[in-house]
Amino acid sequence: MKRIITVMTVIIVALLPISKAFGEESPLKSDTEKLSYSVGLEIGTSLQNMKDDVDINILTDGLVDGFKGNTPLLTPEQAAEIKQQFIAKMQEKQAKMIKELADKNLKEGEAFLAENKKRKGVITTASGLQYEILREGDGEKPKQTDTVKVHYRGKLINGDEFDSSYERDEPAVFPVSGVIPGWTEALQLMNVGSKHHIYIPAKLAYGEQGAGRVIGPNATLDFEVELLSIEEQKEKN
């Protein structure tokens, strides 16, 4: 509802030049018609994801009754209960979808890592982390208490890239202990100047939570990591 009110406010503010926006051939002649259609269009668009759950004709009846102040067919308590039931249904549906995706990602990740470990040059640690050395540096290895500067490129095992400091042309600086467990372990295996390809199982990455819209639940991650330097620690006053 707040979103609809906000959209109405924006439309009203922009009402002055609205005739030009619709063009000369628009069947909507008055500003009232155009505003009414714009609000209706916004409401309809916001309901597209509910097509299987909403009857547009009954929805229109409710809209008219609310607008005209007619006696509603449901009490406020009944309407609130129906909405709560719908929310619970959607949450259950979403949880099921996430569980199915998590199981799928975990299975695919395990299969990928099982095959990947057979490749020449790939090293698997006790935790399940896998890495291969693309370039061996001759600097020091960072400790868990250090802060490092790195360049990296992150992908999913299907090849989709989700992050890259190279693309931003700006190395990342962060504490070794301030990242996902797979990174914390991998960084301590690298000398400054090294470049490694690391493969991080879900349990050492973002697990069942995933991260954002791209990294799904139980996703196995694929990184190229270049350790540029260990940053000097600034003394605290």
The domain that holds 177 is classified in CATH as 3.10.50.40
> Both 69 and 116 in a single domain?
no
**Joined tokens for residue 199:** 């493969």
pLDDT of 6 reads 52
Q: Which of 52, 76, 100 is the last residue of a domain?
A: 76
Same domain for 68 and 21? yes
Q: In the annotation, is 152 catalytic?
A: yes
134 and 196 part of one domain? yes
Q: Note if 169 is an active site residue.
A: no
Tell me the residue range of the domain where 40 lies.
Answer: 2-76
Write the burial class of residue 25 (CB in 10 Å: 0-12 exposed, 13-18 middle, 19+ buried). Answer: exposed
Q: For the whole model, what pTM was predicted? A: 0.72
User: Catalytic pick from 131, 222, 223, 230?
Assistant: 223
- pLDDT < 50 positions in the chain: 1-2, 4-5, 7, 10-20, 235-237
Domain-embedded: residue 200: yes
State the total domains in the chain.
Answer: 2
Q: What are phi and psi of 204, to 5 degrees?
A: -105, 5
Same domain, 68 and 116: no
| Inter-residue long-range contacts of 40-43, CB under 8 Å, 24+ positions, other chains counted | 42/4, 42/7, 43/4
Contact 141/189 with Cβ under 8 angstroms?
yes
Do residues 170 and 63 share a domain? no
Report the pLDDT value the prediction gives residue 160, as an integer from 0 to 100: 95
Whether 37 sits among the annotated catalytic residues: the reply is no
Q: Which of 199, 206, 222, 230 is catalytic?
A: 206
Q: Which of 131, 152, 222, 230 is catalytic?
A: 152
pLDDT at site 12: 46
Q: Which of 11, 12, 98, 180 is catalytic?
A: 180
Q: Is there a domain that residue 98 lies in?
A: no
Asked whether residue 160 falls in the same domain as residue 58, the answer is: no
Token couple for 198: 């690391």
Q: Which of 131, 163, 198, 230 is catalytic?
A: 163
Is 223 part of the annotated catalytic residue set? yes
Tens of pLDDT, residues 206-228: 999 999 889 999 999 999 999 99
Helix axis angle for 31-46 and 2-13, nearest 10°, is 150
Q: Are residues 160 and 226 in the same domain?
A: yes
Q: What torsion, rounded to 10 degrees, do the Cα atoms 60, 61, 67, 71 define? A: -160
Tokens standing for residue 138: 């001759």
